[in-house]
Amino acid sequence: MRACSRPAWTTPGDTAVRQLASVPHIIPKNNEFIVPFCGFGEKTMILEKIDLADFDAIYAEMEQNFVLEERRDKAHARAVLEDPNYTAFHLVKDGIRVGFVTIWQLEKMVFVEHLVVYAAHRNGGHGSVALRLLQQRFGALLLEVEHPDNEMAARRIGFYERNGFHKNKYPYVQPPYRKEGIGVPLILMSYPVPLSNPERVAKELQDRVYRVPRVEMILDTDFGSDCDDAMALAYLVDAERRGAVCLKAVTHSNGCAEGPDAIRVFFEDLGEPVPPIGRAARELRAYDHYCKQIVERFDKSEKKHSYEDAVKVLRRALCESRRAVICAVGAMTNIAALLESEGDEISPLDGVSLLRERCERLVLMAGIFDPDVERTEWNIHLDIPAAQTVAERSPVPVVWLPSETGAGIMTGGPILQKYGDGNPLALAFTLFPGVIQRGGRSSWDPATVLYGFEGCGAFLAESPCGTVTVNEQGKTVFSQNGAGNHRILTLKGRDVEEAIAARIDQCAARLYAYRKEKI
């Protein structure tokens, strides 16, 4: 909840009427609810249910006062009216509507989505009275506020603290109201005590209030070969914390023996549940710049861990998904092996059929499509036959983020400056050659993951459909044609590189700031 922001409108059901009528000192009268108005003698405040006839006029006023990111689309706002967990009231004093309040019933508390006192009626104590009414009836309350980056935001936090609310030390990001939107960092405030499990509450808000569907993701990574793999994993963990992603599995496409353990330790160090982890499906050359060191420094487990073959993990993760997105940011060895797999105890479907049924698309960090560049891109070079198999046999759309698209997105500098080598992510950047001198590393893999669950947004652009071919030397060529199921990602101008990098770095900073609080 942000004061004077994002109203939405509905009417309370009979249950809400009966509940409010049962509150001591609140007098029901013709579906209105009266509470003594503090500081004004006999004057009273009335909560009046909002009539659907008011919707168009009030939404038009909302459009004039609030930017798109701070409100629902009109159709979405109207659809919310049907939700039995949602209720909205006018705040009425002496026959004048001085504001409104909207609430959501959560599992164990009530979320106050909007509490608005109109400008002409502010500084009269109306907001405090409305909060007291809600506190009396519902007890446990939750709301959102902006960070105190300006005087008004700081005053707003002070107002809620004076009314018994507590700030929660959790890196909360309000989900966007629409799929293409961007989340907004906010503070969760709760009454009468701080939240015991803010992550659970944040996910409940995401599911029940904002209704942005969680994207089922599978990450196939050559963790250890480059530090941007670690940043991509950090970006996904942050997205899962925010409720934007459900990470179904992580598979390792690198011959480094310590890789699966290092991925496990990455999650454990953050206090996160460890997803299923798969080891490379075939023998690969080992490239390790940091996996061994991560395990040596940060592994607190005393037992030896074993990991299933990547194909088994991928097949099981797909069977447990509705329509997963697979992001492959290393050699395509595991994905090719999945395509070539036969039916088994996990599913009678072969790999191609299983992908067709349970995978929405493949997103690959691979290839160079600049015709003036002759060299083979690294991930293709690692296993050219696997890349050919994926390009030729994928039954689902394939989106390629090429080397030239991610090369100028430099990340990692802020995490190095703040933590040195004090956590697995920072250690990966510290140990990768040249990163300290350059102050960061190109972020091919994080950009691929970003697209995987957020789409193009304001940063990326998809080519028309076509076909990618991989020749015997690993050269990738894109041919546009309407029958193809491949697309190439490009930047929406070079000026977006810094914006993408800032977005990625902010997620990493938020991830470890919260870990510091938990420790």
Q: Is the model more confident about 295 or about 169?
A: 295
Domain ranges of the chain: 14-210, 215-518
Per mean pLDDT, which range of 115-129, 219-233, 383-397, 462-476 is the poorest? 115-129
Residue 3 confidence (pLDDT) above 70: no
Give every CB contact of residue 241 below 8 A, 6+ residues apart in sequence: 171, 199, 202, 272, 511, 514
10 Å Cβ neighbour count for 398?
23
Q: Is the model more confident about 218 or about 65?
A: 218
Residue 263 confidence (pLDDT) above 70: yes
Q: How does the average pLDDT of the chain come out, rounded?
A: 87
Per mean pLDDT, which range of 20-34, 207-221, 252-266, 314-328 is the poorest? 20-34
- Per-residue pLDDT band for 443 (boundaries 50, 70, 90) equals very high
Tokens of 440: 């960061």
**pTM of the predicted model, to two decimals?**
0.73
State pLDDT tens for residues 274-322. Answer: 999 999 998 888 899 999 999 999 999 988 999 999 999 999 999 999 9
Residue whose pair of structure tokens reads 């629409």 in the numeric block: 178
Tokens of 488: 């190439």
- Per-residue pLDDT band for 179 (boundaries 50, 70, 90) equals low
What's the CA gap between 219 and 420, in Å, rounded? 26
Please provide the DSSP assignment of 28-54 as one string.
EETTEEEEE-TTSTT-EEEEEEPPGGG
Cβ atoms of residues 365 and 445 within 8 Å: yes
What's the CA gap between 90 and 101, in Å, rounded? 7
Burial class (CB in 10 A: 0-12, 13-18, 19+), 126: buried
**365: β partners:** 401
- Of 84, 78, 185, the C-alpha closest to 509 is 185
- Per-residue pLDDT band for 516 (boundaries 50, 70, 90) equals very low
Residue 411 confidence (pLDDT) above 60: yes
Residue 20 confidence (pLDDT) above 70: no
Q: Please tell me the number of Cα atoms within 13 Å of 391 on its side-chain side.
A: 27
What's the CA gap between 289 and 158, in Å, rounded? 48
For residue 216, what pLDDT is reported? 95
- Per-residue pLDDT band for 41 (boundaries 50, 70, 90) equals very low
- Of 35, 218, 198, 263, the C-alpha closest to 132 is 35
DSSP 421: T
Which residue type is seen at 167?
K
What's the CA gap between 24 and 96, in Å, rounded? 24
Q: Is the model more confident about 14 or about 445?
A: 445
Give every CB contact of residue 200 below 8 A, 6+ residues apart in sequence: none
Per mean pLDDT, which range of 55-64, 153-162, 215-224, 385-394 is the poorest? 55-64
For residue 206, what pLDDT is reported? 85
- Per-residue pLDDT band for 37 (boundaries 50, 70, 90) equals very low
For residue 171, what pLDDT is reported? 81
For residues 209, 210, 212, 217, the Cα torsion angle rounded to the nearest 10 degrees is -70
For residue 24, what pLDDT is reported? 34
Give every CB contact of residue 84 below 8 A, 6+ residues apart in sequence: 13, 15
For the chain, first and last CA: distance in Å? 29
Residue 25 confidence (pLDDT) above 60: no
**CATH superfamily assigned to domain 215-518:** Ribonucleoside hydrolase-like (3.90.245.10)
Cβ atoms of residues 330 and 366 within 8 Å: no
Residue 244 confidence (pLDDT) above 90: no
Tokens of 358: 């349970």
* Alpha-helix residue ranges (DSSP H) falling in 198-258: 198-204, 227-241
What's the CA gap between 278 and 263, in Å, rounded? 10
Which residue type is seen at 468?
V
Cβ atoms of residues 317 and 275 within 8 Å: no
> What is the pLDDT averaged over residues 462-484?
96
What's the CA gap between 412 and 227, in Å, rounded? 9
Burial class (CB in 10 A: 0-12, 13-18, 19+), 78: middle
Please state which CATH number belongs to domain 14-210. Answer: 3.40.630.30
Burial class (CB in 10 A: 0-12, 13-18, 19+), 271: exposed
Burial class (CB in 10 A: 0-12, 13-18, 19+), 213: exposed
What's the CA gap between 448 and 455, in Å, rounded? 10
Percent of the chain with pLDDT over 70: 89
Please provide the DSSP assignment of 262-308 as one string.
HHHHHHHHTTPPPPPEEE-SS------SSHHHHHHHH----SPP--E
Which residue type is seen at 64?
Q
For residue 32, what pLDDT is reported? 53
What's the CA gap between 257 and 279, in Å, rounded? 9
